[in-house]
Amino acid sequence: MAIDETEIARRMDLFAKACRESGAKRTHQRMEIFREVAQSGDHPDVETVHRRVRKRMPTVSLDTVYRTLWWLKELGLVNTLGPPRERTRFDANLSDHHHFMCTHCGVTWDFNSDALNHLSIAETVQSIGSMETMHLEVKGICHNCTVDKSSPT
């Protein structure tokens, strides 16, 4: 699950470039925090990143890790798993379905895809484990938002 050295180097280059282009300072903390995520294959949460970075840089504070990770996400250098800065939401629709989430107004719409259901994803992932469920999350701009740029309630 460790990332290849060449790939880590490539990611660090991307980071340097993004700092230069955005005019942000390349501080020790930011480098170590990004390096930690860049070399982890295991999608760590904020606290895990903090714990690991502290081994090399014992004074780094938790709030800097929070600030830095969200800043990296803004720069497009990292992505988040799950809904970023959103609470868990509940759904009583138990049928097979997928979600389209509007990045503008936040509304989530259900949709179905026979084509996807017929794809044998179970076979694709059989080297990892046995599949129980699958769920496609699509992000984009919904028509309510493209048409009149106002958010529905």
CA 8 to chain centre: 18
User: Which of 45, 63, 74, 96 contacts a second copy by CB under 8 A?
Assistant: 45
Instruction: Please return the burial class of 86, using the count of CB atoms within 10 Å of its CB with bins 0-12, 13-18 and 19+.
Output: exposed
Measure the CA dihedral 91/94/96/98, to 10°: 0
Q: Does 81 bind a second copy (CB under 8 A)?
A: yes
**Tokens, residue 126:** 């059989």
Q: Which does 148 bind (CB under 5 to 8 A by kind): DNA, a second copy, none?
A: none
Among 6, 59, 88, 150, binds a second copy (CB under 8 A): 88
Secondary structure class of 38 (helix, strand, coil): helix
Footprint of a second copy on 12-31 (CB under 8 A): none
Binding DNA (rule: CB under 7 A), the pick from 14, 48, 51, 67 is 67
User: For residue 62, what is the enclosing H or E element?
Assistant: helix 62-75
CB 140, min distance to a second copy, A: 4
Q: To which residue do tokens 């997928």 refer?
A: 98
Q: Of how many residues is the chain composed? A: 153
Total site size for DNA, rule CB under 7 A: 25
List 61, 138, 149, 151, residue binding a second copy (CB under 8 A)? 138
**Hey, what amino acid is at 75?**
L
Residues of this chain, 19-58, that bind DNA according to CB under 7 A: 19, 24-30, 45-47, 57
* Interaction of residue 60 with DNA, rule CB under 7 A: yes
Residues that bind DNA (CB under 7 A): 19, 24-30, 45-47, 57, 59-64, 66-68, 70, 85, 87-88
